[in-house]
Amino acid sequence: MSTTDPVSQNNASAAASAASSPRKSASSLGVADFLTLMTTQLKNQDPFKPLDGTEMVAQLAQFGTVSGVQQMNTTLGTLSDSLRSSQALSGSTMVGHEIIAPASSATYSGQSALVGAVQVPEGTSSVTATITDSSGQVIRHISVAAGSGQQSFVWDGKTDSGAQAASGNYAIAAIANTGGSGVSLPVSMAARVTSVSLDATGTGLTLNTPELGAVALSKVTQIY
């Protein structure tokens, strides 16, 4: 007379059922799948070696944590896409506006004058803005008002001799005479926004201008 091991029979039945069921990838398993696996494990446990309930609870808690993190990541991804679209839409309204941003050079088109600004410190007796061409030669000296605070200047594209400068990129600097010493001052330049774009991460807005090229919105000091 033959005997049948009920545990082995149940394990074989479970294995056959698992083999006939379509397999899911690990990334597609959900809470329901985990509970099904746990129930099957309980049904087919060895009566002489029952499963540790504490370990099962710990597994369930761990699975719940992973599931919650996945849902949070999905929600954050949706929020990020929404913010990206909103930022792009807001940035498009800046096209056609003038901005002022720190710059050490600017592109002269040969037609429109370049406008700059310098933050002049107190006690300054004179300020001079210089325009330098690609060969390193200073071609124009422009006097800037020496009053403290932001002072603007304009380069009309002419050299010191009155000749018309060619279109191209020019270095721009400012030197202040303060207490008898020459002090270099940071220069800001005006530019017109022609288009906007988002960086690869979607977190930064870039303003594209003919005069200054691509300018990060975070670098802009004035918009008008």
Judged against a pLDDT cut of 80, whether residue 32 lies above it is answered with no
- For CATH 2.60.40.4070, the residue range(s) in the chain are 98-223
Give, in words, the CATH class of 98-223.
mainly beta
Judged against a pLDDT cut of 70, whether residue 57 lies above it is answered with no
At 92 the pLDDT is: 76
User: Residues 11-27: what's their mean pLDDT?
Assistant: 50
At 18 the pLDDT is: 47
pLDDT above 90: percentage of residues in the chain: 46
pTM for the complete prediction? 0.62
At 15 the pLDDT is: 47
At 151 the pLDDT is: 96
What DSSP string runs through the chain? -----HHHHHHHHHHHHHHHSPP--GGG--HHHHHHHHHHHHHT-BTTB---HHHHHHHHHHHHHHHHHHHHHHHHHHHHHHHHHHHHHHHHTTTT-EEEEE-SEEEE-SSSPEEEEEEEPTTEEEEEEEEE-TTS-EEEEEEE--SSEEEEEEE-SB-TTSPBPPSEEEEEEEEEEETTEEEEE-EEEEEE--EEEE-TTS--EEEEETTTEEEEGGG--EE-
User: Residues 7-16: what's their mean pLDDT?
Assistant: 49
Confidence of residue 200 (pLDDT cuts 50, 70, 90): low
- pLDDT for 126-171, tens place per residue? 999 999 999 999 999 999 999 889 999 999 999 999 999 999 999 9
pLDDT above 70: percentage of residues in the chain: 58
**Whole-number average pLDDT of the chain:** 79
